[in-house]
């Protein structure tokens, strides 16, 4: 039994408390199929989120089998299935893979057989078996809703909450989905609650709750609706509602509630007897009294990591872009260095040794300055392009799938596991991009560093720092577009504020430099140049070159700060 007692949810708008749900009270017995209906914006989704534990009530209490959920602990993630208004499956996966992924993240199964058994059972239960190999991308609206329900059924929840899973469907598909939910409520004493704007198929529900401006104005059997609202057709209820204030409707409901609840009670008792008879005859059944255990950290990590890799490999556009910039950017660096490539190999050989050459000293000094500028520019260009790759790697990584992640968090996925799976995936990209950039450019241009390793490490750290910061942005941002925009700005400011091209006024330099990853990577590499080049660079730039250890340290600090924000962001609840 689910019971709400005077449950309210109030938000603060311009300093004023506005109740979105106002003292909602209702009882839903086990095995019951309930609809929450009402005009748009009346608070249906808000009420459902209160029941799901996504919204925290401002006042009142929620009870589950007599247990006060706010003081005696919430339902386990496996006990609740919540199907939100948005899609929760990845377009790039197939129906079967989506369900497998839900199982891996939410259910501890013993052995392969149990795993596949569960996937098959859910596919059959929801009629998705014939579509198991079809990509989510090509499913119809009704099939997608079916899949969303299926993904929630993997834990055999005792409470299944669905938000508008029938909206936007053609009448036939709508009825099919309502029938499916009805069937799901007829098993294992499961309560199924469906929020819908639509007033079709109401007779399939055990009870209908009508919400009007955040208040309960009716909760009873569907067949008593037209009598209660004095309408000929249920479709006339919404126009009728608008004729009186929500308070008036609510107070007349409070007067009549007991009578309607009595009728509902006797209907529920009959239903219970019926269900017990069904239970006695069928036993295909997982025991709903003990909840499925959530998989451990490692199992969830691998499930998330491999799913990310799979989605990456299937996303043609993203894959193409990644390969294009992985191969294209280093070539771009080379193109710009083309004129000087041969010369960087031979600067030290050309230092004057004979009297004749001393006469050419002026020319050679000039030449060296040019080469110093070239090497400095070349390295900065590498760093900037890696920063661009970094923002492409990470800016949308979390923000673009935020709602799916929130949904999975509600289902028991740990934020730390999720973040680690992102780090593993992005770490892979960072290493490949940075090492390839360093090796390719080095082989063709021969950047004259004393050792190759520090140079490669500094490029890698530059990419890792920007990736980490952009991931932090992605995790804190409200939308993926906002995250992309901010990250691109950040990359755009790297070059002008690095001081590698034009020295900044000294005060401005000191203020901005700490934030510019590109500067620290570039300065570190400049420090590792062979002596003659290092002095040539010193002559062409007025910008202060920080000692190497500081460069490493600052880049590491950037990585840590990015990770900190990424962690804070994934811990936050962000359903909007
Ligand atoms: N967190 C929130 N902050 C401010 N306003 C909200 C919030 N959640 C919902 N609302 C507003 O409350 C009203 C009810 O929203 P909702 O429950 O989504 O309605 P329904 O699902 O019935 O269409 C809407 O006007 C919506 O804009
Ligand atoms: Mg809604």
Give the predicted TM-score (pTM) of the model. Answer: 0.92
For ligand 2, the distance from its centroid to the CA atom of residue 454, given in whole angstroms, is: 55
Longest dimension (CA), the chain: 115
Return the pLDDT at 422: 98
3-state helix, strand and coil shares in percent for the chain, rounded to the nearest 5: 60, 10, 25
Closest ligand relative to 20 C-alpha? 1
Atom of ligand 1 nearest to the CA of 195: 21
> Which helix (DSSP H) or strand (DSSP E) does residue 420 occupy?
helix 415-445
For ligand 2, the distance from its centroid to the CA atom of residue 211, given in whole angstroms, is: 12
Atom of ligand 1 nearest to the CA of 85: 21
pLDDT at 288 over 50: no
Residue whose CB lies within 8 A of the most ligand 1 atoms, among 46, 49, 163, 246, for a mutation test: 46
Q: Which CATH superfamily is domain 2-281 in?
A: P-loop containing nucleotide triphosphate hydrolases (3.40.50.300)
Q: How do strand 191-196 and strand 159-163 relate by DSSP bridges?
A: parallel
Rounded to 10 degrees, the C-alpha dihedral 100/102/108/112 comes to 0
Q: Are 97 and 132 in contact (CB under 8 A)?
A: no
Tell me the per-residue pLDDT of 494-528, one tens digit each, with 9 for 90 and over: 988 888 877 788 888 889 999 999 999 999 999 99
Ligand 1, atom 24, lies closest to the CA of: 41
Ligand 1, atom 1, lies closest to the CA of: 11
Q: How far apart, in whole angstroms, are the C-alpha atoms of residue 232 and residue 226?
A: 6
- From 189, 162, 154, 419, select the one nearest 293 (Cα to Cα): 154
- Residues facing residue 21 across a β-bridge: 9
Tell me the per-residue pLDDT of 360-384, one tens digit each, with 9 for 90 and over: 677 777 777 778 888 888 999 999 9
Q: Are 200 and 7 in contact (CB under 8 A)?
A: no
> Which helix (DSSP H) or strand (DSSP E) does residue 12 occupy?
strand 2-13
Q: Are 528 and 431 in contact (CB under 8 A)?
A: no
For ligand 1, the distance from its centroid to the CA atom of residue 40, given in whole angstroms, is: 9
More confident residue, 571 or 345: 571
For the chain, give the percent of residues with pLDDT over 90: 73
For ligand 2, the distance from its centroid to the CA atom of residue 39, given in whole angstroms, is: 10
Tell me the per-residue pLDDT of 321-344, one tens digit each, with 9 for 90 and over: 999 999 999 999 888 777 665 555
For ligand 2, the distance from its centroid to the CA atom of residue 40, given in whole angstroms, is: 7
Atom of ligand 1 nearest to the CA of 42: 22
For ligand 2, the distance from its centroid to the CA atom of residue 196, given in whole angstroms, is: 8
Q: How do strand 159-163 and strand 80-83 relate by DSSP bridges?
A: parallel
Strand, helix or coil at 27? strand
Ligand 1, atom 17, lies closest to the CA of: 43
Q: Are 50 and 28 in contact (CB under 8 A)?
A: no
Ligand 1, atom 2, lies closest to the CA of: 11
Q: Which two tokens stand for residue 401?
A: 């799938």
Tell me the per-residue pLDDT of 223-282, one tens digit each, with 9 for 90 and over: 999 999 999 999 999 999 999 999 999 999 999 988 888 888 888 888 878 777 777 766
Ligand 1, atom 8, lies closest to the CA of: 46
- Most confident segment among 102-111, 165-174, 533-542, 551-560: 551-560
Q: How far apart, in whole angstroms, are the C-alpha atoms of residue 182 and residue 309?
A: 37
Closest ligand relative to 13 C-alpha? 1
Return the pLDDT at 146: 95
- From 404, 522, 388, select the one nearest 136 (Cα to Cα): 404
For ligand 2, the distance from its centroid to the CA atom of residue 399, given in whole angstroms, is: 22
Tell me the per-residue pLDDT of 424-456, one tens digit each, with 9 for 90 and over: 999 999 999 999 999 999 998 888 888 899 999
Please, what is the average pLDDT of the chain? 91
Ligand 1, atom 20, lies closest to the CA of: 41
For ligand 1, the distance from its centroid to the CA atom of residue 289, given in whole angstroms, is: 34
Rounded to 10 degrees, the C-alpha dihedral 312/118/150/190 comes to -150
For ligand 2, the distance from its centroid to the CA atom of residue 45, given in whole angstroms, is: 4
Atom of ligand 1 nearest to the CA of 38: 22
Strand, helix or coil at 41? coil
Residue whose CB lies within 8 A of the most ligand 1 atoms, among 11, 20, 38, 197, for a mutation test: 20
For ligand 1, the distance from its centroid to the CA atom of residue 49, given in whole angstroms, is: 11
Atom of ligand 1 nearest to the CA of 13: 4
Closest ligand relative to 11 C-alpha? 1
Closest ligand relative to 39 C-alpha? 1
Closest ligand relative to 9 C-alpha? 1
For ligand 1, the distance from its centroid to the CA atom of residue 272, given in whole angstroms, is: 35
What confidence tier does 283 reach under pLDDT thresholds 50, 70, 90? low
For ligand 1, the distance from its centroid to the CA atom of residue 87, given in whole angstroms, is: 19
Return the pLDDT at 290: 45
Q: Are 398 and 405 in contact (CB under 8 A)?
A: yes
Q: Are 419 and 476 in contact (CB under 8 A)?
A: no
Closest ligand relative to 165 C-alpha? 2
Ligand 1, atom 9, lies closest to the CA of: 46
Q: How do strand 2-13 and strand 16-28 relate by DSSP bridges?
A: antiparallel
**Domain assignments of the chain as residue spans, ordered by start:** 2-281, 297-348+360-571
Q: How far apart, in whole angstroms, are the C-alpha atoms of residue 47 and residue 209?
A: 11
Least-confidence region, from 52-61, 440-449, 520-529, 564-573 = 440-449
Ligand 1, atom 16, lies closest to the CA of: 43
Cβ < 6 Å from ligand 1: which residues? 11, 20, 38, 40-46
Return the pLDDT at 272: 79
Return the pLDDT at 286: 53
Closest ligand relative to 49 C-alpha? 1
Atom of ligand 1 nearest to the CA of 55: 1
For the chain, give the percent of residues with pLDDT over 70: 94
């Amino acid at each position: 039994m689910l019971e709400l007692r005077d449950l309210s949810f109030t938000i603060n708008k311009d300093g004023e408390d506005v109740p979105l749900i106002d003292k909602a009270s209702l009882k839903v017995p086990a095995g019951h199929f309930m609809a929450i209906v009402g005009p748009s914006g009346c608070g249906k989704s808000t009420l459902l989120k209160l029941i799901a534990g996504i919204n925290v009530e401002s006042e009142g209490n929620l009870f589950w089998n007599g247990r006060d959920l706010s003081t005696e602990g919430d339902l386990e993630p496996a006990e609740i299935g919540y199907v939100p208004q948005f899609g929760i499956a990845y377009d790039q996966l197939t129906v079967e893979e989506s369900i497998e992924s839900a199982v891996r993240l939410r259910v501890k199964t013993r052995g392969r057989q149990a795993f596949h058994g569960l996937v098959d059972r859910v596919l059959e239960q929801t009629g998705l078996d014939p579509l198991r190999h079809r990509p989510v991308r090509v499913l119809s609206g009704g099939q997608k809703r079916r899949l969303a329900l299926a993904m929630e059924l993997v834990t055999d929840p005792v409470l299944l909450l669905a938000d508008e899973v029938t909206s936007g469907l053609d009448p036939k598909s709508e009825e099919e989905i309502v029938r499916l939910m009805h069937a799901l409520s007829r098993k294992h004493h499961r309560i199924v609650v469906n929020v819908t704007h639509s007033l079709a198929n109401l007779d399939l529900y055990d009870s209908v709750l009508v919400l009007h401006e955040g208040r309960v104005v009716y909760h009873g059997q569907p067949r008593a609706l037209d009598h209660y609202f004095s309408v000929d057709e249920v479709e006339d209820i919404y126009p009728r509602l608008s004729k009186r204030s929500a308070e008036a409707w609510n107070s007349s409901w409070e007067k009549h509630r007991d009578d309607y609840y009595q009728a509902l009670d006797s209907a529920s008792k009959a239903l219970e007897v019926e269900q017990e008879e069904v239970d006695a005859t069928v036993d295909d059944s997982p025991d709903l009294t003990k909840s499925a255990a959530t998989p451990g950290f490692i199992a969830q990590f691998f499930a998330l990591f491999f799913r990310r890799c799979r989605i990456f490999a299937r996303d043609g556009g993203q894959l193409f872009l990644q390969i294009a910039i992985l191969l294209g950017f280093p070539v771009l660096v080379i193109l710009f260095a083309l004129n000087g490539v041969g010369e960087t190999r031979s600067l030290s050989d050309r230092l004057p040794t004979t009297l004749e050459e001393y006469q050419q000293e002026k020319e050679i000094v000039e030449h060296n300055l040019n080469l110093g500028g070239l090497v400095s520019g070349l390295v900065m260009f590498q760093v900037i392009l890696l920063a661009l790759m970094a923002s492409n790697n990470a800016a949308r990584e979390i923000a673009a799938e935020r709602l799916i992640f929130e949904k999975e968090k509600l289902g028991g996925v740990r934020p730390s596991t999720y973040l680690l799976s992102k780090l593993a995936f992005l770490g892979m990209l960072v290493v490949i991009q940075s090492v390839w950039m360093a090796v390719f450019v080095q082989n063709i241009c021969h950047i004259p560093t004393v050792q190759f390793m520090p140079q490669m490490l500094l490029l890698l750290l530059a990419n890792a720092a920007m990736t980490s910061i952009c991931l932090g942005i992605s995790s804190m941002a409200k939308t993926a577009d906002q995250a992309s925009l901010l990250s691109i700005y950040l990359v755009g400011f790297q070059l002008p504020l690095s001081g590698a091209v034009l020295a900044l006024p000294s005060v401005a330099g000191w203020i901005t430099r700490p934030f510019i990853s590109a500067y620290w990577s570039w300065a570190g590499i400049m420090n590792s140049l062979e002596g003659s080049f290092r002095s040539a660079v010193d002559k062409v730039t007025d910008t202060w070159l920080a000692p190497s250890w500081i460069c490493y340290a600052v880049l590491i600090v950037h990585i840590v700060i990015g990770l900190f924000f990424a962690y804070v962001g994934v811990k936050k609840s962000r359903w909007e």
